[in-house]
Structures are given as C-alpha cells and as structure tokens.
Amino acid sequence: MTTTLPRQARLPLNRCNLPAVILGGLTYQAHPVPLELDGVRAFHRELFVLLAAVASHRERAALFVDYMAAHFCLDDLEQAGLALGRVRKSRRNANYLRMVRGWSFDADGREGAVLKHWVETRFGLRARYHAGPLDGRSSEAYQQYVAAASHGLYATNALEAQLDLLYTYCQYELIRQHPEETHLTLYRGSNRLEAHELLGRSDDGGRLVLLNNLNSFTSDRERADEFGDYILTAEVPLPKICCYNGLLPGMLKGEDEFVIIGGVYAVRIGTL
C-alpha cells in the first residue's frame, strides 16, 4: 500500500511550511496541520486585523474584495504599472476571480493551467492531468501545459500573489466557520475509475488514489451524481481547500463546489 506521495508527483521545493512529500501523503489527510504560504499572512497582517473585528461572513467577504481591489489596484491598472495601450484587455482583466471562474467552466483551459501551476509552485505538487495525462516534465503534453500556464500569467497584475491571498483568506474563513472541525466530507463524480491513479486499498477497505494537484469536489452528493456513475467520497482536510463557492458570492458556478489540493487520498467509491 502506497501512503506517501510518489516521487514523480512532487517537486523538491515549494513555498509553504511543509514539504510536498508530507502534505501530499496519506498521513497528512488523517492528521492535517495548517498550511501557510511563505510570508503572505504577515505581509497582509492589516487585512486580518480588520477581518477579526467583523462578525458577519458577508461583511468579511465584502471587506476582502475591497482590500484586493485596493491593494492590487484592480480598478486602476495604470497605477499598478500596466501600460494599458500595449496590453490586451483580456490580460488586463486577468485577476483572481476570473481565474477561479474560468476553472469552474473548464479546468483544462488556460485559467485551469494557471491555477495548477500555482499549486505546483506553492505546494510542490505536480500537475498530473491537463487536457490529458502529463507523462513527465519532458513530455509534449507537459510542455503544452506549461506553455498555457505561462501564457495565462504573462502581462498580468501580480496574479499569483492574488491567488496566494485568496487561499490565505479561504483558510481564515474556514477556521472561523468550522472552528471544531478538521475535515469536510466532499464528493466527486466520475464515469471512468481508470482515469484516476489508483494506488491500492486503505485499511478500511476503501481505495487509495493519487488525485491531480487541483480538483473540483462538491459538498452535495446528489450534485456529484450528475458528473458520473461512480462517486468518490473523501474526508478533505480544511487546509487543502483552496476556495469554495460560499467563500465569495458568485465566485464559482456550482452552488456547492469546492476546489481542493490533491495528493494521496483514501476515498470510498460508490455507485448510483
């Protein structure tokens, strides 16, 4: 039984407080600890001081959106240093919300490539699938994925830093909304089990799978039924949740969608 993250699924360096081999392994799923991106919480300390004084989730979300707009000059891109006349409108408007919404419409599109690349650099988990299996960093498929991510990041406004702060805010909100919980039970529908990297069986008879470095799940099992005959049920550690629809109103198209960081997971697989 493989419980550690396979070598080909990880990078030697990342930008958070745990190495990929630990945060991507089965032990972490069972016994998670907080994940912190290097320097993000400290750099934006003022935001979290303000958030601590706000009781309403809706008001905190509005405060976060306003802070993002002000800090990254999202409404005044010339002040952010972009030469508007020389940068296409689609690139000027590339921000954290557009990336997440783009992921929700097509995880294999340019926005999906940007988000998977962000997970690679921040958490050290290699993408395993993008419009097809990624068979090694020297493969043509992997190079096309890297090109899509680079194209999506080119001439944007500190886009990866925006995603860093979105993840950090998500973690803050999850702790406030689920103070006594370490995991959420989430579901994923699939038509083809062979499309997943199955590693063996868990001690309780479930299956061990190596998930892509970023994945969509749902908190509604009936919603998962719409996406396949097989239902993967996972206990997802809160620190592995990047964002979810309720974090910011209207951010994802699915009412119950959660975007989670991958690695080795023990899952239960059921059918309709």
pLDDT in tens, 198-231: 899 887 878 999 999 999 999 999 888 888 889 9
Q: pTM here? A: 0.93
Partners of 236 in beta bridges: 184
pLDDT in tens, 28-86: 999 999 999 999 999 999 999 999 999 999 999 999 999 999 999 998 766 655 555 55
Q: Name the amino acid, one letter, at 248.
A: L
Domain boundaries, the chain: 7-177, 183-271
Whether the predicted pLDDT of 238 surpasses 90: yes
Is 112 in contact with 132 (CB distance < 8 Å)?
no
- Alpha carbon distance 197, 209 (integer Å): 6
pLDDT band of residue 240 (cuts 50, 70, 90) is: very high
